[in-house]
Amino acid sequence: MSNQLEKLAKLPLRDNLRGIEPYGAPQLDVAVLLNVNENTHPLPEAVRQAIADDVADAATGLNRYPDREFTELRERLAAYLGHGLRPENLWAANGSNEVLQQILQAFGGPGRTVMSFPPTYSMYPLLASGTDTTYIAGERSEDFQLTAASAARQVTSAAPNIVILCSPNNPTGTALGLDVVEAVYEAGRASNSIVIVDEAYAEFALAGTESALTLIPGRERLIVTRTMSKAFALAGARLGYLAAAPEIADALRLVRLPYHLSAVTQATANAALKHVDALLATVEDIKGQRDRIVAELKRLGLTPAVSDSNFVFFGGLEHSGHVWQGLLDAGVLVRDVGIPGHLRVTAGTEAETTAFLEALEALVGGTARPAPGLEG
């Protein structure tokens, strides 16, 4: 590895990329993979067959470029989201990470800034580096919460060109109140800030949690990003999208690569959106396993955060690194997010959840150390 780093250092790499490590969660061959917040339920057979059929149809025209405007997909996404959104309010790309990258390409860049509030999704600073946008790390309270007053005060002070709010937040799993989004949007008025609400896990939200989609009318600087990787169990298809004022899509057309969504990707997503009910049938089961994890972690004396997502962030561990390794030795891979005393686990199937809980109880028993402030 050191030899490779030495070779990399000799290349004329941009200065702001030197010393940065690429994004990457461990990809290990273990029985129970609960570290990257995938939907671990397999696609229903009917949906698999529908995708296979539509991709086969698309294959007959692969000698031609795909629909550059992915017209059918935007129509189906608008119908799925509702809230009065129309196809011109929608945009899609190869995963929500590419959507975010395109936003930073259009509104960030040299001399511009993007702000988010760690601990949050680790790709945000990497996307900033990749687009030569200066990253500003905001602050949360000790219990990882973010209030409207605090967020607005920080945005007013920093005057960033772009603000990213992750809701439900990754890795903590808790959704933001819409008052936070509204406060940040108003605080960014003076600096004309683009405000992104990353709702990758929105379909798993607790009852009563409202989406920022409701705030889009009249707010031309507000963008809500979503993905088909999580609730739709299509992580391997790479399809992310956004909803915003139509002029946002016009801006992204200036930076997107030609024909960036392949015919195969479009066919896969369109087939899936024809079977929304079947695909989302697993969401309630996942939420049930998530709530089961929260209850069992509390029983073990640990401190899970309130989760509006398909994963649980929990603290109270004396040696989180040792617990992570012990779980791995037991065939269960969870995520060490780099916060001492804490780990994050995806809510999987009932069998996967049972394997995690049994392995964890064998490791910590009643030895957990309380960490006030995170209780669900």
DSSP per-residue codes, 52-110: HHHHHHHHTTTTS---TT-HHHHHHHHHHH-TT--GGGEEEESSHHHHHHHHHHHH-ST
The strand pair at 343-346 and 32-33 is best described as: unpaired
pLDDT of residue 374: 40
> Measured in whole angstroms, how far is the alpha carbon of residue 248 from the centre of its chain?
20
Position 122 scores a pLDDT of 94
| Averaged pLDDT for residues 209-218 | 97
Q: What integer pLDDT is reported at residue 349 of this predicted model?
A: 97
| pLDDT category of residue 271 using cuts at 50, 70 and 90 | very high
- Residue 354: what residue type? T
The candidate with the shortest Cα–Cα distance to 120, out of 160, 168, 169, 162, is 169
Query: What is the arithmetic mean of pLDDT over 357-373?
Result: 71
How does residue 373 score in pLDDT terms, banded at 50, 70 and 90?
Answer: very low
Residue 111: which pLDDT band, with cuts at 50, 70 and 90?
Answer: very high
In this predicted structure, what is the pLDDT of residue 21?
A: 81
**Where residue 310 falls among pLDDT bands split at 50, 70, 90?**
very high
The mean predicted confidence, pLDDT, of the chain is 94
Tell me, what's the pLDDT at 371? 40
Structure confidence by residue, pLDDT tens digits, 180-211: 999 999 999 999 999 999 999 999 999 999 99
pTM for this entry: 0.93
Residue 334 is predicted with a pLDDT of 98
Give the Cα separation of 338 and 27 in Å (integer).
Answer: 17
pLDDT category of residue 375 using cuts at 50, 70 and 90: very low
Q: Please state the rounded mean pLDDT for residues 279-291.
A: 95
Question: Which class is 45-276 in CATH?
Answer: alpha beta
CATH 3.90.1150.10 residue window(s) in the chain: 2-43+278-364
Query: Which residues of the chain does CATH 3.40.640.10 include?
Result: 45-276
Write the pLDDT tens digit of every residue in 137-159: 999 999 999 999 999 999 999 99
Return the pLDDT at 367: 52
CATH 3.90.1150.10 fits 2-43+278-364, yes or no: yes
Burial 54-76, CB ≥16 within 10 A → b, else e: bbeebeeeeeeebeeebeebbeb
Sort 337 into a burial class: Cβ within 10 Å, 0-12 / 13-18 / 19+: middle
- How many CB atoms within 10 Å of residue 149? 12
Question: Has residue 221 got a pLDDT over 50?
Answer: yes
Query: What value, to the nearest 5°, has the Cα angle with vertex 162 and ends 161 and 165?
Result: 150
Chain segment 42-86, per-residue pLDDT in tens: 999 999 999 999 999 999 999 999 999 999 999 999 999 999 999
pLDDT tens-digit readout, 112-124:
999 999 999 999 9
Give the position of tokens 């969504």. 261
376 has a pLDDT exceeding 70: no
CA–CA gap between residue 98 and residue 134 (Å, rounded): 18
Distance of CA 276 to the CA centre of its chain: 20
